[in-house]
């Protein structure tokens, strides 16, 4: 079993719809949770960063963390074709120099 | 703008011919990472430098080496590339501070092809 599971997709939605992405994880010691967006043939770009359980909102993006269920989510409101990309969840224990554990990424297609 | 720059964007090499990928950063971050990402897979950490301290992942093949001559530059050397080493190689940096080290800033990557 992988430490972090993420549905690879593709997830296809019409423009303006809400995109819902999620990851599950097995190690309850993870403390910091991130979502990265990766366009084709580009490096990942940090979108959202949260610590422990709760919600965080930034513009059209909302990240949720439910540590009791070991489940994190990313919602994209009013999706645009420019949101078409692969979204990677990542998490870490939080100690200095600690490495990220990534999910495999979900490919999202927003159709005009 | 401060950033992480990788050169070249695309690299073609021959089976067994040594190749070096480069990364530079203007963020003045303490930590520099090298990741390997194959198509539709998660990035896989190869190794990282915390300042001058080299940290190798246990499952990184000996074929992969790295150098960090100064804070700004880091190199990935593949001594004898095999067909299975064809991938996107991502360089990333972080501050290395306990409270913020989790935020990685990535370069655009180098796509390596092995013929």
Tell me the average pLDDT across A64-93: 95
| CA distances to A83, A97, B64, B99, B115 from A90, in Å | 19, 15, 24, 16, 32
Distance, CA of A18 to CA of B17 (rounded, Å) = 48
So what's the pLDDT on residue B25?
A: 97
So what's the pLDDT on residue A54?
A: 87
Q: How many beta-carbon pairs under 8 angstroms link A with B?
A: 63
B40 has a chain A CB within 8 A of its CB? yes
CA atoms within 13 A on the CB side of A7: 12
So what's the pLDDT on residue A31?
A: 87
Residues of A contacting chain B (CB within 8 angstroms): 4, 8, 32, 34, 36, 41-46, 49, 88, 92, 94-100, 102-105, 107
Judge whether B70 and A62 are in contact, CB under 8 Å.
Answer: no
Q: Is A45 helix (H, G, I), strand (E, B) or coil?
A: strand
Tell me the average pLDDT across A77-94: 93
User: Are residues A96 and B101, on separate chains, in Cβ contact within 8 Å?
Assistant: yes
A97 to chain B: nearest residue by CA?
B96
Q: Which two tokens stand for residue B78?
A: 């593949």
Across A56-82, b (16+ Cβ under 10 Å) vs e yields eeeeebbbbbeeeebebbbbbeebeee
Tell me the pLDDT of chain A averaged across its residues: 91
C-alpha A16: how far from its chain's center? 19
Using one digit for the tens of pLDDT, what is the confidence trace for B75-90? 999 999 999 999 999 9
User: Are residues B41 and A104, on separate chains, in Cβ contact within 8 Å?
Assistant: yes
* E strand intervals along B1-115: 4-7, 10-13, 19-25, 31-37, 44-50, 53-56, 64-67, 73-78, 87-94, 105-106, 110-114
So what's the pLDDT on residue B40?
A: 83
So what's the pLDDT on residue B113?
A: 96
pLDDT at A95 over 70: no
Q: Which residues of chain B have pLDDT under 70?
A: 1-2, 97-102
So what's the pLDDT on residue A93?
A: 82
Judge whether A88 and A108 are in contact, CB under 8 Å.
Answer: no
So what's the pLDDT on residue B96?
A: 75
Interface probe for B, chosen from A97, A105, A107 (most Cβ of B below 10 Å), is: A97
B55: burial class by Cβ within 10 Å (0-12, 13-18, 19+)? middle
So what's the pLDDT on residue B111?
A: 95
The percent helix, strand, coil of chain A (3-state, each to 5) is: 5, 55, 45
pLDDT at A97 over 60: no
User: Are residues A43 and B107, on separate chains, in Cβ contact within 8 Å?
Assistant: yes
What's the maximum distance between 2 C-alpha atoms anywhere in chain B? 43
B92 has a chain A CB within 8 A of its CB? yes
So what's the pLDDT on residue B100?
A: 55
So what's the pLDDT on residue B39?
A: 87
pLDDT at A96 over 80: no
Q: Is A24 helix (H, G, I), strand (E, B) or coil?
A: strand
C-alpha B23: how far from its chain's center? 7
Tell me the average pLDDT across A51-63: 91
- Which residue has tokens 């991938």? B87
DSSP B20: E
Q: Which two tokens stand for residue B10?
A: 């695309």
């Amino acid at each position: 079993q992988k430490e972090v599971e993420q549905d690879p997709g593709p997830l296809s939605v019409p423009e303006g719809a809400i995109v819902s992405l999620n990851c599950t994880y097995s190690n309850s010691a993870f403390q910091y949770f991130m979502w990265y967006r990766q366009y084709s043939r580009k490096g990942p770009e940090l979108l959202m960063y949260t610590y422990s359980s709760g919600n965080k909102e930034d513009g059209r993006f909302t990240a949720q963390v439910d540590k009791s269920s070991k489940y994190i989510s990313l919602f994209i409101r009013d999706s645009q074709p420019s949101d078409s990309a692969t979204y990677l969840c990542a998490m870490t224990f939080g100690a200095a120099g600690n490495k990220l554990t990534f999910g495999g990424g979900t490919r999202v297609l927003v159709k005009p | 703008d401060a950033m992480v720059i990788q050169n070249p964007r695309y690299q073609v090499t021959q089976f067994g011919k040594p190749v070096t990928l480069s990364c530079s950063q203007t963020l003045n971050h303490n930590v520099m990472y090298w990741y390997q990402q194959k198509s539709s897979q998660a990035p896989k950490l190869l190794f990282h430098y915390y300042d001058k301290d080299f940290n190798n992942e246990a499952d990184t093949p000996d074929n992969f080496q790295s150098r960090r001559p100064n804070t700004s530059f880091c190199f990935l050397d593949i001594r004898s590339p095999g067909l299975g080493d064809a991938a996107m190689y991502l360089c990333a940096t972080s501050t290395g501070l306990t409270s913020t080290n989790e935020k990685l800033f990535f370069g655009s990557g180098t796509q390596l092809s092995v013929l």
